[in-house]
């Protein structure tokens, strides 16, 4: 099994998700070592997050934590005050990489807390503690996903066909996945599950990553273009929708990959349950509703070109919002590692958020 | 201005739409003569329709008529009976190219009628009459589109932003376009119009053709991926949707490019008017409702590859329906060359269909 991200010999190793699926591209173009990239400079980790070498809210969180740890190791200051000042700069750079996934900021906050919780430690000790914390975030993320899977599997009937959008899988997390984690858990529970995967333009996370991941696990997967989801629902081929999330507001409004909102509207029209699977770290109680979630607009080249080949006339105007917000009224339930949140989400999310983990 | 299709020196000349937009691809790869293809054998025209050198229901109709005329010229039989027998074979081959767009069958029927209406003509005379009829179909299609545009423009307010899906433009017809014809007419009427064009996976008719056509006409156009339409609607950026059609059932249910149904559901959710623009020849009164319209499934390579580059893991299961059906309840009105059809469509379409053209 592939590893999305790893801390190894004081560097961050990540699979370059832009190059996947390797089956085709790797064999013709690249040696294995080119697929896994090793980062020794936190600025390169920041760039890797920006350029989507790594993507998916939980994986971005882990990468940011490891990036911050790497940045800490690179600080020369020996005494605490100088270290703390440099460390603040590292965190700021890491926080500027992508705006929508709140896990990024959550992970950086967790790293900052290490300094607060160890007010007497010097630079060297802090470095070790920060590396340890990044490793903990990584390890806990897999555990969180597995717990989420257990909660989510109960919502999935045997012989269900599940539609998913984008990649909320092992590649979007430290491992196992959020939406795909629920699918994996249902399969582990002995259920016969079929999956439809939206290809997810413009970055094609569905065709390149989700289809690849699920095939590797031997899960029955059918790839469709995003605009076929409505057709499949109308034909009665979809029983349930599960997606991940990049940020969930206090009222349950959910930012996720562009196109999620359309899938949610279609699910409602066809009376199909629509589930969001995300760790508690994706919930942003400080944001009241979805309108306040910042939506990243990315380079128009993602739309006008596919792997450097132009598919649109030069000079055309393009919009490229990377996410959209699905209002809570379209969401049946939100699956977290601490349990399943149902309406009213405001109350229920707040309660889950405050539970000590693991939940009783 | 480019020409979609033309009858020239007893051959059919078509712009190869698979190679567009030329701006980019032509300059690097191809001489002009490669963009326009000349067909001297009706079997090659049939193949060109199948392979989507030409596409768009009205253009397919014109290409089929010209293909049939070309096939007629290739018949060696000198007497009428032998000619008619061979002619029947030509029509059958042409009818087998694509199943959904009814204009194909409508055009072939019109060609067959030439034989019925000239019961005494011999092979040579029939050949000339058939070529003339194909030219008439071509010429009338442009006229039809312009009349449709006039009717449709009245529905479009000044400063409207219009969303369109796929390409229902000059490239989908003999010229001017159906949905894009309405847009062109509104612009000619002095209205300030903005257009959002869905890229329309998998064949990218939106990014490759619609964006290209509208840019050439200086119409303010913004390209988006299909899954961004919901986002733009929710932001209040879309005032009206106009699409073309491949077949309209007697009750107004409309088959059009895959993804149209999703756009229609989204338009209803956002209370945005949803118009279909299509010639009377796209209406199939023999088919009671949309469920009876045959939906073509095309090669999965259209989804797994983009211009020969794989974007999905090898061996993945894929669905590739080329069309979907939008039930009449999602359609505000159907714009034809004979006027605008409103609910109940069953009555209204029947009335328009039976009107002598041009309508009084």
Distance CA A35, CA A23 (A): 11
A296: left (phi over 0), alpha (psi -120 to 50) or beta: beta
pLDDT tier, B98 (very low <50, low <70, confident <90, very high otherwise): very high
Whether the bond between B96 and the residue before it is cis, its omega within 30 degrees of 0, is no
Q: What is the pLDDT of residues A84-142, one digit of tens each?
A: 999 999 999 999 999 999 999 999 999 999 999 999 999 999 999 999 999 999 999 99
Among B19-28, B71-80, B282-291, name the one with the lowest average pLDDT: B19-28
> Which value does ipTM take for this structure?
0.95
Q: Quick check: A183 pLDDT over 80? A: yes
> What per-residue confidence (pLDDT) applies to A360?
36
> What per-residue confidence (pLDDT) applies to A22?
61
CA A307 to chain centre: 23
Distance from CA of B82 to the nearest CA of A (A): 46
> What per-residue confidence (pLDDT) applies to A308?
79
| Mean pLDDT, range B126-150, rounded to an integer | 98
How does the average pLDDT of chain B come out, rounded?
A: 95
Q: Quick check: B114 pLDDT over 70? A: yes
Q: What is the pLDDT of residues B8-18, one digit of tens each?
A: 999 999 999 99
Q: What is the pLDDT of residues A3-27, one digit of tens each?
A: 999 999 999 999 999 988 865 455 5
Q: Quick check: A1 pLDDT over 80? A: no
> What per-residue confidence (pLDDT) applies to B359?
43
Q: Which class does domain A147-354 fall in?
A: alpha beta
> What per-residue confidence (pLDDT) applies to B45?
98
> What per-residue confidence (pLDDT) applies to B289?
98
Q: Quick check: A359 pLDDT over 50? A: no
> What per-residue confidence (pLDDT) applies to A318?
98
A41, A189, A217, A246: the active-site residue: A246
Distance CA A233, CA B263 (A): 14
Q: List the one residue out of A230, A227, A159 whose CA is nearest residue A195.
A: A159
Mutate to test the interface with B, among A161, A227, A236, A316 (most CBs of B within 10 A): A227
Distance CA B206, CA A4 (A): 35
B246, B253, B284, B324: the active-site residue: B246
Distance from CA of B287 to the nearest CA of A (A): 19
From chain A, pick out residues whose CB is under 8 angstroms from the CB of B227.
198, 200-201, 226-227, 258-259, 262
A18 secondary structure, DSSP code: G
| Mean pLDDT, range B279-286, rounded to an integer | 97
Listed by start position, the domains of chain A span 5-146, 147-354
Distance from CA of A300 to the nearest CA of B (A): 9
From chain B, pick out residues whose CB is under 8 angstroms from the CB of A318.
222-224
| Cα angle, residue B198 at apex, residues A168 and B142 outer, rounded to 5° | 160
From chain A, pick out residues whose CB is under 8 angstroms from the CB of B215.
313, 315-316
Contact call for residues A200 and A165 (beta carbons, < 8 A): yes
* CATH number for the domain formed by residue range(s) A5-146: 1.20.120.420
From chain B, pick out residues whose CB is under 8 angstroms from the CB of A21.
310, 312-313
pLDDT tier, B357 (very low <50, low <70, confident <90, very high otherwise): low
Q: What is the pLDDT of residues B283-337, one digit of tens each?
A: 999 999 999 999 999 999 999 998 778 899 999 999 999 999 999 999 999 999 9
Contact B310 A230 (CB under 8 A): no
* SS percent in chain B: helix, strand, coil, step 5: 50, 20, 35
CA dist list (Å): B204 to A40, A343, B5, B100? 40, 40, 20, 19
pLDDT tier, B34 (very low <50, low <70, confident <90, very high otherwise): confident
| Joined tokens for residue A300 | 């128009």
> What per-residue confidence (pLDDT) applies to B68?
98
> What per-residue confidence (pLDDT) applies to A27?
54
Residue with tokens 């949140």: A341
| Mean pLDDT, range A299-327, rounded to an integer | 93
B246 is catalytic: yes
């Amino acid at each position: 099994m592939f590893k999305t991200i790893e801390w190894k010999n004081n560097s961050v190793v990540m699979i370059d998700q832009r190059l996947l699926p390797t089956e085709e591209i790797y064999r013709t173009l690249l040696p294995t070592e080119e697929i896994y990239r090793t980062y020794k400079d936190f600025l390169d980790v920041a760039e890797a997050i920006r350029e989507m070498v790594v993507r998916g809210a939980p994986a971005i969180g882990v990468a940011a934590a490891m990036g911050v740890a790497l940045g800490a190791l690179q600080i020369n200051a020996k005494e605490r005050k100088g270290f703390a000042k440099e460390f603040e700069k590292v965190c700021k750079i890491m926080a500027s990489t992508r705006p929508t996934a709140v896990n990024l900021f959550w992970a950086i906050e967790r790293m900052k807390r290490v300094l607060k919780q160890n007010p007497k430690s010097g630079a060297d000790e802090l470095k070790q503690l920060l590396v340890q914390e990044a490793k903990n975030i990584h390890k806990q993320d897999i555990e969180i996903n597995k717990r989420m899977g257990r909660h989510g599997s109960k919502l999935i009937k045997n012989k269900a066909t599940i539609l998913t959008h984008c990649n909320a899988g092992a590649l979007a997390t430290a491992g196992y996945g959020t939406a795909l984690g629920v699918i994996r858990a249902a399969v582990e529970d002995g259920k016969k599950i079929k999956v439809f995967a939206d290809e997810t333009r413009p970055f094609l996370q569905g065709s390149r990553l989700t289809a690849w991941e699920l095939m590797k696990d031997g899960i029955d997967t059918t790839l469709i273009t995003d605009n076929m989801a409505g057709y499949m629902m109308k034909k009665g081929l979809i029983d349930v929708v599960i997606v991940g999330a990049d940020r969930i507001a206090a009222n349950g409004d959910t930012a996720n990959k562009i196109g999620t909102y359309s899938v949610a509207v279609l699910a409602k029209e066809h009376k199909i349950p629509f589930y969001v699977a995300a760790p508690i770290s994706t919930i942003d109680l400080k944001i009241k509703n979805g309108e306040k979630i910042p939506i990243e607009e990315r380079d128009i080249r993602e739309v006008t070109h596919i792997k450097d080949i132009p598919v649109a006339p030069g000079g055309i105007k393009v919009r490229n919002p990377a996410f959209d917000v699905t209002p809570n009224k379209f969401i049946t339930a939100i699956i977290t590692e601490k349990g399943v949140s149902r309406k009213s989400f405001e109350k229920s999310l707040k309660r889950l958020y405050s539970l000590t983990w693991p939940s009783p």
